[in-house]
Amino acid sequence: MVRVVALTFDVEQDCPPFAETKNGMRYGLPRVMDLLEEYGIRGTFLFTGRIAEEFPELARRAAKKHELGCHGLQHERFDRLSPNEVRKRLSEAREILNRFGEVTSFRAPNFQFPDEYYPLLYQAGFRIDSTKARHKGWRKGVLQISGIIEVPATTTSIVTRLPWRLQERFHRKFESPVVYIFHPWEFVEMSRRLRPDCWFGTGKNALDNLRRLIEFHIDSGSTFLTLQEIGEMMGKAKTSND
| Residue 177 Ramachandran class (φ > 0 left, ψ -120 to 50 alpha, else beta) | beta
Q: Can you tell me the distance from the alpha carbon of 111 to that of 156, in angstroms, rounded to the nearest whole number?
A: 11
Residues paired with residue 69 on neighbouring β-strands, in sequence order: 46
Distance CA 74, CA 22 (A): 13
* pLDDT tens digits, one per residue of 66-117: 999 999 999 999 999 999 999 999 999 999 999 999 999 999 999 999 999 9
Rg (CA), the chain: 17
> How far is it, in rounded angstroms, from Cα 24 to Cα 65?
19
The full length of the chain comes to: 242
Mean predicted confidence (pLDDT) in 232-238: 71
Contact between 216 and 39 under an 8 Å Cβ cutoff? The reply is no
The whole-number average pLDDT for the span 152-178 is 94
Query: Taking the domains of the chain in order of start, what are their residue ranges?
Result: 4-241
Q: In this model, does residue 36 exceed pLDDT 60?
A: yes
CA angle 233, 52, 65 (to 5 degrees): 45
The DSSP 8-state label assigned to residue 24 in this structure reads: I
d(CA 21, CA 212): 28
105-106 and 4-11 strand pairing: unpaired
- Is the pLDDT reported for residue 185 higher than 70? yes
Task: Say yes or no to pLDDT of 241 above 50.
Answer: no
Q: Which pLDDT score is estimated for 239?
A: 41
Pairing verdict, β 178-182 and 148-150:
unpaired
**How does DSSP classify residue 8?**
E
Confidence band of 237 (pLDDT split at 50, 70, 90): low
Alpha-helical regions (H) of 110-203: 118-123, 164-173, 196-199
Contact 145, 238 (CB under 8 A): no
Q: Find out whether 190 and 198 touch, Cβ atoms under 8 Å.
A: yes
pLDDT of 235 over the 90 cut = no
pLDDT of res. 66: 98
CATH class (in words) of the domain with range 4-241: alpha beta
Distance, CA of 201 to chain centre:
19
Helix (H, G, I), strand (E, B) or coil at 4: strand
Give yes or no for residue 240 having a pLDDT over 50. Answer: no
Does the CA dihedral 231-237-240-242 come out positive or negative? negative
Residue 234, pLDDT score: 80
pLDDT confidence of residue 238: 54
